[in-house]
């Protein structure tokens, strides 16, 4: 209401609001003057349901009408105290911005010393602190559970954070960097390069690396293709490369699934994953505690 560029609109809304309240009051007053005399019956409105259920023009109960009067008085008092009449700010000068800022100030005074305390501690020590773990879990549930699930075990395309298998590394500094700056991962599509049969061969070779059932003939062909096209990211032993976020293909831990159908989809059409950056939103102190909680998930006692 404070953004009007003309005083006309403020006046226009104020008049409509007050006239509407006044009209409600007049209507109630008119209805309150209509009373049935002793022995007098209310008129029938002419509406009938279920053969004999008729609508009568009975006056409203007095207690009900007084409730309406109370709401009118309440609305007038509210409009005097709080903004609601055009650009009039109200006697109390309340705004949602000022309330938000006051709440933020109270929260800062309460929680800033706690965050500062843990920010001065190394992440393994924070991960071992019971109070810090509770705070970290709440932060995780608020901001991270939508992708990684409430138990942090992830889902299709979202990493499991409890198994100590890391795409970019699980040391404290790397976890902080991942949460702060986010990650963008890309698996290129190889279907146009090696063809449909080559994709199937590669899929079976990858299955052989993870120790799952595979076609040995296709896997042999796939090994040659792998050494030619895939070692740049996944390495000659297929152990992956954390500097690039390339996964280890020998541990049977799959981000999108390890079935032949899924691997054909992954190799043939590629994958793209994005971990959003939380640095600007959460700040370094909250990220420190959140990173400590994630760090401790796969390390009992935070060790």
Task: Please tell me the pTM assigned to this model.
Answer: 0.73
Domain 185-275 belongs in CATH node 1.10.287.3240? no
Convert the pLDDT of each residue in 158-184 to its tens digit.
999 999 899 999 999 999 999 999 999
pLDDT at 1: 47
**How far is residue 202's CA from residue 221's CA, in Å, rounded to a whole number?**
8
**How far is residue 96's CA from residue 283's CA, in Å, rounded to a whole number?**
24
How is the chain split into domains, by residue range? 7-81, 108-182+276-302, 185-275
- As a dihedral over the C-alpha atoms of residue 138, residue 139, residue 143, residue 147, rounded to 10 degrees, the angle is -70
Residue ranges of the chain whose pLDDT lies below 70: 1-5, 34-37, 39-40, 300-303
CATH number given to 108-182+276-302: 1.10.760.10
Which among 93, 57, 96, 114 is positioned nearest to 286, based on CA atoms?
A: 114
Convert the pLDDT of each residue in 144-160 to its tens digit.
999 999 999 999 999 99
């Amino acid at each position: 209401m404070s953004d009007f560029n003309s005083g006309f609109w403020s006046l226009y809304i104020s008049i409509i609001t007050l006239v509407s309240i006044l009209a409600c009051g007049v209507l109630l007053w008119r209805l309150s003057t209509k009373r049935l005399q002793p022995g007098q019956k209310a008129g029938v409105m002419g509406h009938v349901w279920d053969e004999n259920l008729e609508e009568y023009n009975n006056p409203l109960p007095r207690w009900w009408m007084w409730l309406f009067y109370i709401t009118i008085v309440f609305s007038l008092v509210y409009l005097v105290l709080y903004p609601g009449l055009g650009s009039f700010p109200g006697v109390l000068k309340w705004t949602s911005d000022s309330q938000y800022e006051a709440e933020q100030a109270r929260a800062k005074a309460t929680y800033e010393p706690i965050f500062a305390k843990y920010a001065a501690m190394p992440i393994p020590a924070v991960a071992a602190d019971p109070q810090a773990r509770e705070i970290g879990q709440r932060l995780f549930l608020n901001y991270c559970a939508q992708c990684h699930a409430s138990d942090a075990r992830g889902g299709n395309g979202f990493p499991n954070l409890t198994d100590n298998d890391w795409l970019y590394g699980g040391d404290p500094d790397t976890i902080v960097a991942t949460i702060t700056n986010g990650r963008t991962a890309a698996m290129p599509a190889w279907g146009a390069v090696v063809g449909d049969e080559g994709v199937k061969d590669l899929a079976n070779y990858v299955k052989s690396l993870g120790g799952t059932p595979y076609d040995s003939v296709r896997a042999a062909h796939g090994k040659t293709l792998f050494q030619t096209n895939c070692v740049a990211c996944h390495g000659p032993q297929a152990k992956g490369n954390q500097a690039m976020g390339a996964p280890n293909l020998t541990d049977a831990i799959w981000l999108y699934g390890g079935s032949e159908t899924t691997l054909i989809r992954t190799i043939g059409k590629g994958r793209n994953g994005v971990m959003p950056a939380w640095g600007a939103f959460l700040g370094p102190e909250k990220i420190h505690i959140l990173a400590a909680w994630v760090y401790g998930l796969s390390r009992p006692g935070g060790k």
